[in-house]
Structure formats: structure tokens, C-alpha cells
Structure 1
Amino acid sequence: MDSMLYVVPVVGVIALLFAFYKATTINKVDAGTDRMKEIASYIEEGAMAFLSREYKTLAIFVVVLFIILAIGIDPLTAVSFLIGAVFSALAGFFGMKVATKANVRTANAAKEGGMNKALNVAFSGGTVMGMSVVGLGLLGIGILYITIGNPAIITGFGLGSSSIALFGRVGGGIYTKAADVGADLVGKVEAGIPEDDPRNPAVIADNVGDNVGDVAGMGADLFESYVGSIISAITLGIVVFETKGALYPLLLSAVGVIASIIGTFFVRAKEGSDPQKSLNMGTLASAVLTVMVAFFLSKSLFNSYQPFIAIVSGLVVGLVVAKITEYYTSGDYKPVQSIADESETGPSTNIIGGLSVGMMSTAWPIIVIAVGILVAFYASGGTTNAAQGLYGIALAAVGMLSTAGMTIAVDAYGPIADNAGGIAEMSELPKEVRIVTDKLDAVGNTTAAVGKGFAIGSAALTALALFASYTQAVGLESIDLTKPTVIAGLLIGGMLPFLFSAITMKAVGKAAFSMIEEVRRQFREIPGLMEGKAKPEYKKCVDISTTAALREMIIPGILAVIAPIATGVILGTEALGGLLAGSLVTGVLMAIFMANAGGAWDNAKKYIEEGNHGGKGSEAHKAAVVGDTVGDPFKDTSGPSINILIKLMTIVALVFAPLFLKFTGLF
């Protein structure tokens, strides 16, 4: 049985080789005209410069935490942490490097080959991100488990990936939304020029932001979800089933990678067809293949179908939450259309409508997640053996993320298509090209919203599974809600997602203020800019977003690490359990609310731009643009970052559990 473990890192290498193959094919595609190459070079230089500066800043944090872990916990845990941090950073780097090459090639493919060729290039770019994430995740966990075999040590790998993910999501989110808000408010509302107009000084920063936020940030987010779910399943599985309890989630994840690779070959679009259906076909093929193998693995390893049922419950929860997210954020359905209707009477009613849709959208996902948890727990034998039931919940998280390679590929395709549209606009390509890229971008908006819903669902299950691992590590059989320390922990935990969101929203506001002032200055002071006779100073806007993102990401990241450690040392392990429970409840709700409200505002604006309620330039459109700028930090900064916050705090608690057992609290 132990020899089967070697399959896991081997599959990780296969995924990385497939990513390399896809990257090579993208590089062979023609990048288009000199003007297209020039614009693409601005985007690539800005994106890579930001990532370089961000990683240099994060290196200080990684070194400090490495030393703390080596001295306070265990040197091997510190090494595991370092590997997790490096692999997470590499996943973001690989994905963004290729995305910034795929965007211009997608635009040129749309010009020369139409829909099918453009979809193939954009999706291939997303595939590199997806395969890099799952390949590095499996390679890291597989090698660590084979060489060390101690789940407590491997949790350090999860801590490393979560730390980089939080900084990456927050930093990327602040960057992209500062640029987006500045570009929209001054460009669309004040100057009355189209989106991605080359006269707008913030347009390059906006396109760079799509990469650092929606590619590198999103990739790091799902990398730590993917890793965290596997680690929690290994930790709980060994307690209940010994080696085979760890082997099942590892092998299933390996199967999911192979299924995702196969699924990519199903993504093909014919001219005039809907690209969404093609992407859905790839996702469905991956899921079906994974489920089939999960069935046989469950029977052969456990002589039972209970683990298989838990896996399926996770997959179903992910798919259902994604569809609910699509309903509340797509312009094809009533919730978004109602926000567009309310835009007729101005920004106030637009914002009220968006807030209402966001709040309403929390109900069904929470119910679905709750049902999935109960099914996974009781179907896994939780009635007679609670630890076995908790293992079932961890397997549900693994099941949801088993096809992460495909899920991330579909998600990362979106910002590449968006960038392609921007390059087409700035390069003044024929209208037919923009029609193709706009259709790809519209599908990308839906896949991004669905991806966020998937990330939220996986965050809830992964955080709960890690929480169960924490209770096992510190010997907590129950948490007494009548104890004042537990109540204090519960309240502090419930407050943290609000405080975290306030800090990140404020950061976007401050950065956007500086961006707006700079764009206004250039329109005012550069002669001939509005007439298209002068070139904007793009670099100044890129520098504003970069500086603000790097400065403002520090406090939220440190908060997520310090809060659980301080609570565990001062108030004790049970109070820390209360903090984790409180943050899980409010964090999941806040994440769903903010992500869906932001997505609904965005697509309400796009629904009006399609010609409804007066179309572009109408009063309803201006109101919708205001609502969209409010929703931007909701859906792309604070909302997605909360997912990582709740998981990072839980894995910090798990890694530092030995410390909390030494210091039993002051109360």
C-alpha cells in the first residue's frame, strides 16, 4: 500500500509537464501587430514588476515566521512551511507569466482565427495556472508525506501556502480595484470615453490588475484551499483508518489531476457556438471521471462506499453553490436585472438593490453547505464514530476540490479574455475582433463569479475540516458556550472578518483616491490627450497601484496570524476554538454576500451596456457604474480574501497547537 503513495508526486510532475507543454504552445502563437506587442509589453512589465516587489516584501515575513516555527515549534515544520510558501509563490508566478503572454495572442487569434482559436489560446493560458496549482500542491504534499510521514509536520506546508495566498489575494485585490475604480469613474463617468480606451491613463494599470488579482491572487487562493483540504483529510484519516485514511484523499487528488488534464481536451468551440457550453463540457468530463474512480477506490481501500458518498457530497455542494452564484450574479436572471431596473432612479437605489441581492444570496448557499456537511458526516459513520464523521467532512472538501485543475483553468481563462478585449480596443483592431473578445469576456465574467462561489464553498468545508483537526490536536471533545472565555473568543472571531473587510476596503478607497487624482491631472495637464494626439503616462498609474497594494496588504496579513496565536496563548485552546467557530460563521456569510453583491453590480452595469435602460451614456448607466465601483472591492478584494482569512487562522491554530498546550491561558 505504501508504494502507491509514489503515484502522488509523479502525477504532480505530470501536471507540471502538461503546464509546460501548454505554455510552449502559447509561445508559438503569433502575438500580432507591433502596436499589440507594445501594449502587451506594458501589461507584462507592470505585472511582473509588481509580483517581484510583492515577493521581496513577503520574503521578510516568510523568514521571520520560519525562524519562529524553527525555534518555537519544530525545525521540520519550519522547513515544510518554507516549501509551502515557495510553491505557492511559484504557482502564482507561472500562472501570471503565461497569462500576460496569452492575452495578446488571444486577441490576435480572434483577429485571424475567430472564436475557436481565441478560446483555445485563452483557455490554454488558464490551464497553465490550473496545472501549476495542482501539480505543485501534489508534488509538495506527496514528497513531504513520503519522506516525513507526520501530518503535524505537513501542516506547515499548508501554513506556508495560506500565508502567501492571503498576501497575494489582498495585495492583488487592492492593486486591481484601485486601478479599476479610477479608470471607470474618471474615464466612463467624467470623461465619457469607452472602457479600455488608450487615452485613459489608468487603463494599463487596470489590465495589469486583472493579472495580479484574478490570476496570481486567485491561483494562490485555490492553491491553499486545495492543499488545506488534503492536509486536513490526511490528519483526520490517519486517526481513524491509519495509512489508508491518508492514501484515499491523496490518490483521489491524483486522479482528479489526470481527469482535469483529460477534461481540457473537451474544451472546443465552433464558430457561432456558446463558449460557456464548451467550458462546461470540460468541467463535466473531469467531474464524471473523478467520481467513477472514487467509487472503485472507496470499495478497494475501505470495502465500503461511505467515503465515496462523502466525496460526492462535496462535489455536489460545489456545483450547486456555483449555480446559485451564477443565478445571483448573471445578467440572464432576475436579481441582476432588478438592480439594472433600480438604476433608473440613480446610484442610491442601485446600491440598495445590490446590497439586498448580496444579502439574499447568502441563504441558499449556506443551506446547501449545511446539508452537505450533514450528509458527509452521517454517511461516513459519524453517528457511531464522531472522528469518522469528521473525516467524511474533510473528504467532502477534497471531493469539491478534486478537479481544481479544471476549475482554476476555467476561472483563469476569464481575465485573459478580458485583457485580450482591452488590447483589441487599444490597438484599434476591427470591430469583429472586439465582438469575439467581448463574447469570451462575458463568459469569463460568469466563470469568475462561479469560481468565487466554488472558492467560498471549498473555504467553508476546508476550514471546518481544519477546525476538526485542531480539536483533535489539542484534545477538545466539545466547546462549552457558557464559559466567558469561549464567549469572548466567539465574539472576537465573529468580529475579525468585519475588521479585515474594513481594512481592505479602506485600502482600496485610499488607493483609488490617489488614482482618480492622477487620472484627472493627466487629462487636465497633458495637451491633446483627450483628442488622442498625446500619450498618457501609464507608468505613474501603475506605480500608484503597486505602492498602495504593497503598503496596505501588510496589516491584514499580520492580523490573520497574530489573532489566533494571541487568543490561544492568553485565553486558552477552548477560547481559540470559539474564535475559529465565530470567524467561520461570519466569514462565510460575509464572503458570499460581498462576492455576490459585487458580481451582481458588475453585471447590472454590463446588462445596461448591452442596450437596456438607455444603454451606454444614459443616466441609468452612470448610476450602474457607481454601483460597480462600490462592488469592485467587494468581489475582488475583501470577499475573496475572507476565504483565505478563515482558513489561515484555522491552520495557524493547528500548527501552533503544541504551543497552546504549553500555555493553557491566563483565565
Structure 2
Amino acid sequence: MENFIIGPMTPWGPFATGFIGLFFAFILYGLIMKYPAGKDSVVKIGDQIHLGAKVFMLTEYKILAPVVLALVLACGFSPLGWYTAVAILVGALSSAIAGFIGMYSATKANVRTASAAESHGQQEALSISFFGGSIMGLCVASMGLVGLGGLYLFFTGAMDDPDKIAKSLEGFGVGASAVALFSRVGGGIYTKSADVGADLVGKIEAGIPEDDPRNPGVIADNVGDNVGDIAGMGSDIFESYCGAMIASMAIAATFGNTDLMFLPLWLAAAGLFCSLLGIFIVRTQVSQSPAVALRFGTFFAPIIFLIFAGLSIYYSPNIELSVFYSVLTGAVGGILIGLITEYYTGGSTEDSPVGKIAKSGETGPATVMITGLSVGMQSVVLPLFVIAAIIGISTHFSGLYGVGIAAVGMLATVGITMAIDAYGPVADNAGGIAEMSGMKSEVREITDSLDELGNTTAAIGKGFAIGAAALAALAIIAAYMLATGLETLSLNDPRVLMGIFIGGTIPFLVSSITMTAVGDAAFEMIEEIRRQFREIPGLLEGKAEPDNAKCVDIATKAALNKMLLPGAIAILSPVAVGFILGPIHLGGMLAGALLGCVLMALMMANAGGAWDNAKKFVEKGNFGGKGTETHSATVVGDTVGDPFKDTSGPSMNILINVMAIVSLVIAPLL
């Protein structure tokens, strides 16, 4: 009986499954392109957004190429060897390809979503925007399986030692992490510098609506949605997805159990099939409310995945059933973290956390800031308890391997999770295009309803990403300890304490750098938008065209210049501590950085999401509605929350994973 479940999943299985996922991604792209792009003004705006996003990402990859090449050569000429070097290159290429395809398809889906909302209504608009997000989700899952599954095939054919195979595969994580770090940080700086600049001058100073075509910063703002919230988020999840598999395989290799080594790849392949089913189910449910359709897909795919995982592990002769309980713990934990995040960031009543922030706007922006920060801090507590429970339960059933496989369980259905998350920015872009092209108010109402739901799904996605990154990083740290022979990190050892304090400072340093980068770039953006309003005759009256390209150029240069320092800190800090102070100090540093990153990420992401939805809650007509002092106060909160939730907060996920995977790769040299 066991061969019925496991037999078809040969070592070729995950690799082939990845190509099946890519095939369906291209089918979805073809379906999107069959819809009309709309009238000339819509196409023109869409082309500007598409070109801006494409130029930014290609320039970013050109800057990244020498960094990746340096890592490949440094690894190849070191004792780590050329197998690990090849894996670094494959990891970087896989992440870059997934991000670029996701961005490209999203910038084709946004104009078609706006046009569908105008000509066919909400149902068609939801379908197109969801298909646009689904391509990103499928590419993340598929490229992970193609890259990691292909390397596994190659290395198992070239080597017999499971430990050597696992050590070589770790390079894939370094390559994926490098691209993810720069994409997430660079994209975050881009999108929020444009967003903050456009909002402050447009909505607060000039008193014009969001996405008004008179505002020179709106094209850059919409470009930022694609490079930050789609490509950046995709690379973030991709890195955690692959990192969890790599850590599980590295831990299993120390036991010499090849079945446990292969299990993460098989679970990820099964998860991709379940994600495809989930995407199809959402498509069939769009006649219901959008929220019902997306929620159905969110729960359907993990449930089917758990059935597959349970059966395959139960009938596998060399894998204990207790491993399934760890997988189950991770999958359930991921859903719980998402629901907790939804409570803190997606409320629609006056008694919800979001409603309380909105009400505090009646007494000015200061109380909006105070209430939002308190909500963000409070929102850390329950997810941390969930993560702690996942760690305790999974290690009880499967030891250190349990943490890694729990992270795989959480991330296996990343295809549908990322699809629902990436749908939001596509809908947001569609709303911007509808406003800029002068579509009827009814169209904007449709896109606004989709965008509002998208904000909540994006917030849930961020909470999920943080939980997944924490588990993946913890699993990688566990693999690092096994690789260096560290049985414990004792608080009685001053070397561990030194490392903890050093590691604890790094999240704050990187957050400071990224927040400062957004502030500096936003200042330049604000000055440029003010200059155009002042110097271009008739711009505010709608009689002249703004110079959108200048604002796009400012955001691009700022993001590319400011992303290098955080990346250098993430990659070089574990190298410096490991080689100068030693492996025990480095273990302590990873522990301190892990806790600091998770706390900062949750607080910033949830506070930012709550501020954003508090503003939208007021814009619905609550507490006076648009144009009131309350609305202006919540706009200030939203503006501060933007770099919280889309730049500094998400960069924490990548930061800890980069530090952990670099430490794991250099462990044999320490």
C-alpha cells in the first residue's frame, strides 16, 4: 500500500511538479491577456506603470548580479566548493525569475481589472485581479521546486553522502536570500517613498483625492505596489519557503535518513497541487462575495494538503506518524497567525482595534499615533504564543526536525497564500488606474471594495510571512547548531550573552536605516511634487499634465542607492562575528536577532496595517468621513504606518533568514 502514495513521487516528482505549476501560471497569464485592456487613456497609464516597474527591477538585478557573482566565486574557491557555488547561482536566478514574472503579469492584470470593473462589474474584476496574484503565487512555489528539486536530483546523482548533499543545497538558500533581501528592501523603499510623498502633498496639502491624475507622484506610487508588494513580497515568501525545506533536509541529513530528507520536497509538491485546486475553487466561488471566495480558498487548500500529507506519511515505512503531527501543527499555526492578524488589522466596527484608532482621530494625529502603536505592540503577544506553541509541540513529536517540517507545513500551500496576498496590490493598482483615467464613481466603488479586502488579505499575508520566516529561521539555526556541534546555548556563558546583545541590536539598526531611507526619499519626492504644483501652470486645475517620469526616477534612484547598506549588514554581520569571535558568539547572535526581528516585524506590520484600515474606515463615512479633521489625522497615521508595514517590518523577515542561512553555510569553516 505504501507504494501507492509514495511510489509516484520519485526524486523527479518535485522537479516535474514545478514545471506543471509554471505551465498553469502561463495558462492564467493567457486568460488574463484575453480580456481587453480598455480605452487609450487606460492603456497609456498601464504602460507607464508597467515600464516603471520593469525598468526598476531590471536595474535592480543589474546591481545585484555582481553581488551574486562575488558570492559564487568566494564560495567556489573556498573549502565549501563549487557545488555550493552552483546552488547559490541557481537560488538567485530562481528567486529573480519568480519575482520578475509576478511583477510582469501583475502590471498586465491591473489595467484589465479596471476595465472589467467598468464593463462587467465586480465578479469579473475579482477574477482578473485574483488570476494576476495567482501567477505570483504559482511562480514562487514552482520556481522553488524547479530550483531546489533540480539541484537535489543533480547532487544525489553526483554524491552518495546525505550530509554533503545537504551542505551543497544550503547554497540555494544564500542565493535566494540575497535576491530576496535586496528586492524586499529596495522595493519597500521605492513604494513607500512614492506613497508618502504623494499622500502628504496630494491629500493633506493640496486636498485632492488619492490617485488623482494631477498628482505627479501617483504613477510612482502605483509602480511601487508592483515592485514592493508583489515582487518584494514574493521574494520574501520564496526565501522562507525554500529556507524551511533546506533546514529540514540539513537536519535530516545528520540522521542519515534520506526519506526524511526528501519529505520536504514531496510535501511542497503536494502543496502546489493543492494550491492549484484552491485557485480553481476560488474562481468557481467568485459569484459569492469576494471575502467568502478568498476565505474558502484559504482554508480549502491547507485541508486537502493535510489529508495528502497524513496519508503519505502514514503509509511510508521509514517515516514515523509523529512527523505528520509536526506538519499539522505548522499548518494550523499559520492559519491562526493569519486570523489573529486579521483581528488587529481588518476590523470594521467601532469596537475593533481599527475602529478605536479611527475614533482616536477625533482628537488629532497624536492620539492616532499613540493608539496605533499600542495596537501594534499588543498584536505581538498572541502570534508569539502561537509560534512558541508550534515550537513546543513540533519538537515534542519530531525533535529539531519537527521545527523545520512544521515550517514546511505552514508554507506548503504558498501558491494559494501568495495568490490571495498578491491579489490586493493588483486591485489597488486597478483603483488607481480607474481614478487617473476618469472612470465613473461606480467603477471606483468596485475597485475600492476589492482594494479594502486586499488590504486585509495583505495584512494577513504579512502576519503569515512573519510566522513562517520565524520558524524557517529557527530551523536553520537548529541546523547551524548541529553543524557546529553546539548542543546548547547557555546563558551562563558570557560568549552567548555577548552574541545575544549584538544580535538584538541588528533589527533596530536595519529598521532605522530603512525608515531613514524612506524619509529621505519621501522628502525629495515631496519637494518635487510641490515644485510641479508651483511651476507647471494649470496643473492643479487639471489643465496640464504632470511630469510623472521625474517622480519615478527619484524613487528608483533612492531605492537602488539605499538598499545596499542593509544588505551588507545582513550578509557580513554573521561572517564577521563567526570568524572574529567564534561559533558560540554567532549562535548567540542568531538567537538575539531572531527574537528582535520577530517582535519588530509583527509590531510594525500590524500597526501599519491597522493605521491604513483606520483611514479607510473613516473614508467610508464613519466619524465624519472624508475632508474632516478626523480624516486628516488618520491620513497622518497611515503615512507613518506605510514604511512600518511595507518597508522596515517586512525587511525583518529577510534579515533573520539571511543571517541564519549565511551562518549555516559558513559553519564548516568556523
- Interval of TM-score (by shorter of Structure 1 and Structure 2): over 0.9
Return closer, same or farther for 1:28/1:203 CA change in 2, 3 Å cut-off. Answer: same
Mapped to 2, the partners of 1:361 and 1:284 lie a distance apart of: 23
Shift of 1:94: 0.3
The structure 2 residue matched to 1:349, chosen from 343, 367, 379, is 367
Match of residue 220 from structure 2: 205
Letter aligned with residue 494 of structure 1: G
Q: Deviations over 1:346-404 (max 9, x none)?
A: 11111111111100110000001101111111122xxxxxxxx1101111000000100
Contact 2:286 2:293 in 1 (8 A): no
C-alpha distance in structure 2 between counterparts of 1:65 and 1:298, whole Å: 37
Q: CA deviation at 1:114?
A: 1.2
For 1:92, which of 83, 96, 99 is the aligned residue? 99
Among candidates 598, 622, 626, match of residue 612 of structure 1? 622
Provide Cα deviations, 1:58-110, integer angstroms capped at 9, x if missing partner.
11211111111112221111111011001100011000000000000001111
Normalising by structure 1, we get a TM-score of: 0.96
> Is 2:320 the counterpart of 1:310?
no
Tell me what 1:493 maps to: 503
Partner of 2:571: 561
Question: Which stretch shows the higher mean deviation, 542-551 or 421-430?
Answer: 421-430
Number of residues of Structure 1 aligned to a counterpart in Structure 2: 652
2:3 matched to which residue of 1? none
SS at match of 1:148: helix
Equivalent residue number for residue 87 of structure 2? 80
What's the counterpart of residue 101 of structure 1?
A: 108
* Kept after mapping to 1: 8 A contact 2:250/2:261: yes
Q: Quick one: distance in 2 between partners of 1:224 and 1:187?
A: 36
Q: Report if the CA contact (8 A) 1:115-1:271 is conserved.
A: no
SS in 2 for 1:453: helix
- What is the alpha-carbon distance in structure 2 between the residues aligned to residue 225 and residue 457 of structure 1? 10
- Amino acid corresponding to residue 38 of structure 1 in structure 2: K
Of 371, 381, 385, the residue aligned with 1:367 is: 385
8 Å Cα contact 1:169/1:217 also seen in 2: yes
Q: Secondary structure at the match of 1:574?
A: helix
For residues 49-68 of structure 1, the aligned pairs below 5 Å read 49-68=55-74
SS in 2 for 1:412: helix
1:17 aligned residue: 23
Decide which of 453, 456, 472 is 1:462's aligned counterpart.
Answer: 472
Corresponding residue SS for 1:266: helix
Provide the residue aligned with 1:267 in structure 2. Answer: 282
Q: Find out whether 1:144 has 2:157 as its counterpart.
A: no
Matching of residue 631 in structure 1 with residue 641 in structure 2: yes
2:210 to 195, 211, 220: 195
Deviation per CA, 1:228-279, whole angstroms, max 9, x where unpaired? 0111111112323611101221111100000101111111377884201101
1:167 aligns with 2:182: yes
CA contact (8 A) 2:469 2:654 kept: yes
- Picking from 254, 270, 278, the partner of 1:255 is 270
Root mean square deviation, CA, Å: 1.2
Report SS of the residue matched to 1:476: coil
Q: CA deviation at 1:303?
A: 5.6
**Is residue 2:136 matched to residue 1:129?**
yes
1:115/1:269 contact within 8 Å kept: no
In structure 1, what residue type is equivalent to 2:229? D
Q: Which range is displaced more, 152-161 or 485-494?
A: 485-494
What does residue 574 of structure 1 align with? 584
Deviates more, 1:31-40 or 1:244-253: 244-253
Report the Cα distance in structure 2 between the residues aligned to 1:417 and 1:584, rounded to whole angstroms: 33
> For the Cα contact (< 8 Å) 2:126–2:286, is it kept in 1?
no
8 Å Cα contact 1:116-1:268 kept in structure 2: no
SS in 2 for 1:93: helix
Most deviating of 449-458 and 473-482: 473-482
Matched, 1:650 2:660: yes
Partner of 1:300: 315
Q: Is the 8 A contact 2:260 2:319 kept in 1?
A: no
| Residue matched to 2:556 | 546
Distance 1:184 1:241 in 2: 56
Aligned partner letter, 2:322: Q
Counterpart CA distance in 1 for 2:50 and 2:446 is 23
Q: Tell me, what secondary structure is at the counterpart of 1:268? A: helix
Whether contact under 8 Å (1:167, 1:554) holds in the other structure is yes
Number of the residue aligned with 1:319: 335
In the alignment, which residue of structure 2 is the partner of 1:330? 346
TM-score for the superposition, normalised by structure 2: 0.96
Structure 1 residue 377 and structure 2 residue 395: aligned?
yes
Structure 2 spans left out of the alignment, 5+ residues: 1-5, 157-164
Q: Give 1:480's match in structure 2, choosing from 465, 477, 490.
A: 490
* Counterpart mapping for 1:239-250 below 5 A: 239-240=254-255, 242-250=257-265
Gaps in structure 1 of 5+ consecutive residues: 381-388, 661-667
- Contact 1:298 1:306 (8 Å CA) reproduced: no
Query: Does the Cα contact within 8 Å between 2:52 and 2:220 map onto a contact in 1?
Result: yes
Q: Is the 8 A contact 2:537 2:544 kept in 1?
A: yes
Contact kept, 8 Å, 2:259 with 2:319, in 1: the verdict is no
5 Å-filtered alignment, 1:411-422, equals: 411-422=421-432
**Is contact 1:22-1:128 (8 Å) kept?**
yes
